[in-house]
């Protein structure tokens, strides 16, 4: 069943064109701020770096040191918290969801809570109203992790612009990309100044890292297309899966020594040009998702994470909850290596990554969610015939 000639990416990223590399005077900071209806935006070298800068800026405002995060999220998040000298506090999720469980969130927040980090995953939106109410009760900030939600709207407002600070990823597969990149926005002018000052203090100039990222961005332009993804992504993925290296296969093999450097003018310019095409790309993938979401809904026994009433998310991929871990693994045994854009988001809930060594209360809902989820690409390069193959495998697995 392996799709040897072409291969869709696991998430729908915005392709680059050669025009994006031409010199131009547009400012990514200004254009992104306009896109987000925000006064300013700040560009960092990754979504993780953006979170670290935001946390470091918050740290100087208070003696509090605890940061509350959902127990199902990217393992880079607690590493960024620890690198800032802060304490990650894990909160269990709602049943069958990635968002905070309200009762659990109340229990873990207190006098030492500096910030609560509601997290939007795969373009789906977290409950910001609930998180904000609880944050206000304990005097904490709300730091939105909107890494995977650039362009999504929560109750009509752009994700990332509702909390005190919002952080985005401009990494591969997140929609707009400069290969490694991130962005920060904040509502308060004083906080925006503090973010700028913090970045100047802790983010160094690293010419080697910037040169490497630029070369990788050129590689992305050349190979981020169906004919090139098998070479750039598929071969390595299948080798890791064959070796049983699941954490490495999804990129969860994280280190606290993640890169921290300033982003160069040329790479920002590439992003500024690509940003002009992002609204149309979001509309294209949103329209495709509506049709394919309806098709997936016909598979009895699975659940596709969807928008709450009043929300309008982006759709880089479908986050699918299977009836059991065994059924999920049965599907993946047939599809993960098939070159059809099916895979997993995170391998574990945060307490189960040995390299994190997080001694926390039990988080059964987050662990259950991690054990039963898989992802299906919403790339326009996954054609209808291959999508129907996926649906057929799902139907047989749950029958």
Domain residue ranges of the chain, discontinuous segments joined by +:
19-202, 278-398
Question: Of 329, 333, 337, whose CA–CA distance to 238 is shortest?
Answer: 337
Which residue has 């969860």 as its token pair? Answer: 252
Angstrom distances, CA of residue 160 to CA of 63, 113, 283, 305: 25, 20, 19, 20
Question: Of 156, 160, 162, whose CA–CA distance to 148 is shortest?
Answer: 160
**DSSP per-residue codes, 222-290:** HH-SHHHHIIIIIHHHHHHHHTT-HHHHHT----S-----PPPHHHHHHHHHHHTTHHHHHHHHHHHHH
Q: What pLDDT does 108 receive?
A: 95
What the block records as the tokens of 34 is 């306009």
Question: Of 16, 5, 14, 11, whose CA–CA distance to 214 is shortest?
Answer: 16
What the block records as the tokens of 6 is 């072409």
**DSSP per-residue codes, 43-72:** EESSHHHHHHHHHHHHHTT-S--EEEEESS
Fold of 278-398: 3.90.1150
Distance (Å, whole) CA 321 – CA 217: 33
Q: Do 142 and 135 form a contact (C-beta atoms < 8 A)? A: yes
Q: What pLDDT does 360 receive?
A: 67
Q: What is the chain's percent helix, strand, coil content, to nearest 5?
A: 45, 15, 45
pTM of the predicted model as reported, rounded to 2 decimal places: 0.95
Q: Do 319 and 354 form a contact (C-beta atoms < 8 A)? A: no
Distance (Å, whole) CA 399 – CA 327: 10
pLDDT tens for 205-225 read 999 999 999 999 999 999 998
Residue 399 DSSP class? -
Element (H, E) at 369: helix 364-372
Question: Of 302, 295, 318, 322, whose CA–CA distance to 385 is shortest?
Answer: 295
What the block records as the tokens of 141 is 């900030």
Q: What pLDDT does 234 receive?
A: 86
Angstrom distances, CA of residue 393 to CA of 237, 275, 300, 319: 20, 36, 13, 16
Parallel, antiparallel or unpaired: strands 157-158 and 153-154 = antiparallel
Element (H, E) at 140: none
Angstrom distances, CA of residue 211 to CA of 50, 208, 217: 20, 5, 10
Q: Do 99 and 93 form a contact (C-beta atoms < 8 A)? A: yes
Distance (Å, whole) CA 377 – CA 342: 6
What the block records as the tokens of 187 is 């509502």
Question: Of 96, 99, 145, 91, whose CA–CA distance to 371 is shortest?
Answer: 96
Low-confidence ranges of the chain (pLDDT < 70): 1-5, 360
Distance (Å, whole) CA 217 – CA 223: 10
Q: Which residues pair with 183 in a beta bridge?
A: 43, 168
What the block records as the tokens of 259 is 């890169």
Q: What pLDDT does 3 receive?
A: 52
What the block records as the tokens of 51 is 């979170």
Q: What pLDDT does 24 receive?
A: 79
Q: Does domain 19-202 have CATH number 3.30.1860.10?
A: no
Q: What angle do CA 207, 223, 248 make, to 5 degrees?
A: 75
């Amino acid at each position: 069943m392996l799709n040897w000639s072409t291969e869709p990416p696991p998430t729908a990223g915005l392709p680059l064109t050669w025009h994006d590399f031409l010199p131009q005077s547009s400012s990514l900071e200004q254009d992104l701020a306009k896109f987000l209806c925000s006064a300013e935006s700040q560009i960092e070298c990754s979504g993780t770096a953006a979170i670290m800068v935001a946390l470091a800026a918050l740290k100087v405002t208070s003696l509090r040191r605890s940061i509350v995060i959902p127990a199902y999220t990217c393992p880079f998040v607690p590493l960024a918290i620890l690198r800032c000298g802060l304490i990650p506090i894990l909160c269990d999720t709602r049943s069958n969801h990635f968002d905070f469980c309200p009762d659990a969130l109340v229990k873990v927040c207190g006098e030492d809570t500096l910030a609560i980090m509601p997290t939007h995953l795969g373009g789906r939106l977290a409950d910001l109203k609930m998180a904000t109410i609880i944050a206000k009760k304990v005097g904490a900030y709300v730091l939105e992790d909107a890494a995977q939600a650039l362009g999504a709207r929560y109750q009509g407002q752009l994700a990332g612009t509702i909390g005190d600070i919002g952080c985005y990823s401009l990494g591969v597969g997140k929609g707009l990309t400069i290969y490694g990149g991130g962005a920060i926005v904040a509502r308060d002018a004083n906080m925006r100044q503090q973010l700028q000052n913090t970045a100047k203090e802790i983010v160094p100039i690293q010419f080697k890292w910037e040169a490497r990222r630029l070369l990788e961005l050129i590689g992305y332009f050349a190979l981020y297309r169906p004919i090139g993804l098998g070479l750039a992504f598929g071969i390595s993925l299948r080798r890791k899966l064959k070796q049983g290296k699941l954490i490495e296969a999804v990129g969860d093999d994280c280190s606290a020594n993640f890169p921290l450097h300033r982003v160069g003018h040329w790479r920002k310019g590439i992003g500024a040009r690509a940003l002009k095409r992002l609204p149309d790309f979001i509309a294209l993938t949103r329209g495709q998702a509506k049709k394919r979401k309806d098709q997936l809904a016909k598979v009895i026994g699975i659940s596709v994470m969807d928008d709450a009433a009043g929300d309008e998310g982006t759709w880089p991929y479908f986050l699918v909850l299977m009836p059991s871990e065994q059924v999920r693994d049965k599907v993946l045994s047939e599809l993960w290596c098939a070159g059809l854009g099916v895979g997993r988001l995170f391998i574990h809930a945060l307490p189960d990554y040995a390299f994190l060594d997080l001694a926390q209360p039990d988080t059964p809902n987050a662990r259950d969610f991690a054990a039963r989820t898989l992802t299906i690409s919403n790339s326009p390069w996954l054609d209808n015939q291959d999508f129907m193959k996926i649906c057929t495998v799902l139907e047989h697995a749950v029958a």
